[in-house]
Amino acid sequence: MCGDLLFFRINRKYKVAVNEVQEIHSYFNSRLQFKRHPSQEEKIIVSR
């Protein structure tokens, strides 16, 4: 296993470590956009 890291699936394509999530912003049509640390160019969009 990955030690103390806690992962969750944010959509079909991505699993993210909880400690990687830096910011969460409102997005169009009641969805959310994640900003990760370390930052990446790709936008990660999640439905609520």
Instruction: Write down the domain spans for the chain.
Output: 7-47
Q: What is the pLDDT of residue 26?
A: 92
The Cα diameter of the chain in Å comes to 36
Q: What is the pLDDT of residue 48?
A: 67
Residues 6+ apart with CB under 8 A from 6: 17, 18, 19
Q: Tens of pLDDT along 1-48?
A: 556 678 888 888 888 888 888 888 999 988 999 888 777 777 788 886
